[in-house]
Amino acid sequence: QVQLVESGGGSVQAGGSLRLSCAVSGATYSNTARAWFRQVPGKTREAVAAIYSGGSFTYYADSVKGRFTISHDNAKHILSLQMNSLKPNDTAMYYCAAGPWNRDRLSVSDQYTYWGQGTQVTVSS
């Protein structure tokens, strides 16, 4: 049973920073995709960033490029998302996810098998 547990959400003013972490336990196999998604009530879940667990390949949504950095500690099985220069429209519930690697489907939520419970990020203006 794979479990993902997020932490690090909270409230911050625009321009501030937050760091999200996701601890992965269970069948922590390699050669998979790890990702962060976010969702606002009434809207579909959108991919924020993704990374290949066995290397350095990354994907970023255009809206977060240059502000967010995704990383994965293979030894500790921790996925992180460093978020800088936060904007009010970054406000959302953030979820970490894990699934089979497919470079062409990193931003597709159906590609991911396992999900965390979510952590709220609120950015005020």
Along the 125 residues of the chain, how does pLDDT read in single tens digits? 789 999 999 999 999 999 999 999 886 666 789 999 999 999 999 999 999 987 779 999 999 999 999 999 888 889 999 999 999 999 999 999 999 999 999 999 999 999 999 999 999 99
Per-residue model confidence (pLDDT) at position 74: 84
Per-residue model confidence (pLDDT) at position 28: 66
Residue 45 makes CB contacts below 8 A (sequence gap 6+) with: 37, 38, 39, 95, 109
Closest Cα partner for 16 from 118, 117, 71, 87? 87
What Cα–Cα distance (Å) separates residue 110 from each residue in 32, 48, 52? 14, 15, 17
Per-residue model confidence (pLDDT) at position 87: 98
